[in-house]
């Protein structure tokens, strides 16, 4: 015969289970700062002329190809002198904006070289966690290209300004309500030498930073 206390017991167990889930969620929120807004980056080096002039020769490596430091990219003719344009660093050619016959200005970007041997992730963390972030904290990073694998990194830099500033104070509407925009703190995540990080600038990632001493 079924006990008359059975429905009550099930109700109590259900309530206890709900409380346990809520407490677990709250603890996870306290231990981790999570961001779905993160991207792969690397040190980049711009190829630019020192003076205005005409590009008389331009022959960079194929976009995405490897390029050596000092490699000859082109020649600029201007103001009675020639300027040889060279790669300032070895890496991958990720941007090619120069063309033979172009009139260009001093400092104009003609090519971009990335050192993909030193990739990092730039994550945007909600400002509510700003006071809990610190360099050296563990970061678990999952890349969109391989969602089943986590790469361990560490917080290397916390930038001292939010990613986007619209107004220094909340905007005042015509009524009595304030309109406040969410702000995000840029955080750089570095990885150990040889870590398996995708070599594509701008690739998205999910980041969890252990802000309360937690780890994987």
Write the burial class of residue 162 (CB in 10 Å: 0-12 exposed, 13-18 middle, 19+ buried).
middle
Strand partners, 204: 39
> Considering only 23-27, 64-68, 181-185, which range has the smallest mean pLDDT?
23-27
Query: Residue 133's pLDDT band (boundaries 50, 70, 90)?
Result: very high
Is there a single domain that holds both residue 38 and residue 75?
no
pLDDT at position 163: 63
Is there a single domain that holds both residue 140 and residue 37?
yes
Q: What is the percent of the chain where pLDDT is above 70?
A: 75
How many CA atoms, within 13 angstroms, populate the side-chain half-sphere of residue 212?
Answer: 10
> Considering only 28-32, 34-38, 124-128, 136-140, which range has the smallest mean pLDDT?
28-32
Task: Judge whether 159 lies within some domain.
Answer: yes
First-residue to last-residue Cα distance in the chain: 47
> Considering only 8-17, 38-47, 74-83, 112-121, which range has the smallest mean pLDDT?
8-17
Structure token pair of residue 212: 């309360």
pLDDT at position 61: 64
Q: How many domains does the chain have?
A: 2
Give the integer Cα–Cα distance in Å for 161 and 38: 17
Name the domain boundary from 114, 140, 173.
114
Task: Judge whether 144 lies within some domain.
Answer: yes
Query: Residue 64's pLDDT band (boundaries 50, 70, 90)?
Result: confident
pLDDT at position 168: 46
Query: Residue 164's pLDDT band (boundaries 50, 70, 90)?
Result: low
**CATH number of the CATH domain containing 49:** 2.40.50.100
Whole-model pTM: value is: 0.70
Whole-angstrom CA distances from 143 to 37, 59, 97, 149, 204 are: 11, 34, 29, 8, 6
**CATH number of the CATH domain containing 130:** 2.40.30.170
Closest CA to 115 of 82, 143, 98, 90: 90
Average pLDDT over every residue of 82-88: 94
Name the domain boundary from 114, 141, 166.
114
Is there a single domain that holds both residue 143 and residue 83?
no
- Note down the domain range covering 178: 33-42+118-210
Is there a single domain that holds both residue 70 and residue 171?
no
């Amino acid at each position: 015969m079924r006990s008359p206390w059975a429905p009550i017991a099930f109700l109590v167990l259900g309530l206890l289970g709900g409380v346990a889930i809520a407490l677990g969620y709250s603890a996870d929120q306290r231990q981790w700062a999570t961001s779905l807004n993160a991207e792969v980056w690397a040190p980049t080096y711009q190829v630019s002329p020192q003076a205005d002039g005409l590009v008389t020769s331009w022959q960079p490596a194929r976009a995405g190809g490897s390029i050596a430091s000092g490699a000859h990219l082109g020649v600029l003719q201007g103001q009675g002198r020639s300027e040889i344009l060279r790669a300032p660093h070895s890496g991958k050619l990720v941007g090619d904006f120069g063309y033979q016959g172009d009139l260009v200005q001093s400092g104009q970007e003609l090519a971009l070289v990335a050192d993909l041997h030193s990739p990092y992730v730039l994550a945007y963390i909600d400002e509510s966690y700003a006071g809990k972030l610190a360099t050296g904290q563990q970061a678990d990073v999952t890349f969109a290209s391989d969602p089943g694998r986590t790469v361990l990194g560490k917080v290397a830099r916390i930038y001292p300004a939010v990613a986007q500033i619209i107004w220094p104070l909340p905007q005042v509407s015509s009524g009595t309500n304030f309109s406040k925009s969410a702000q995000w703190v840029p955080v750089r995540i570095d990885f150990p030498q040889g870590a398996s990080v995708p070599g594509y600038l701008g690739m998205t990632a999910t980041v969890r930073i252990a802000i309360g001493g937690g780890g994987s």
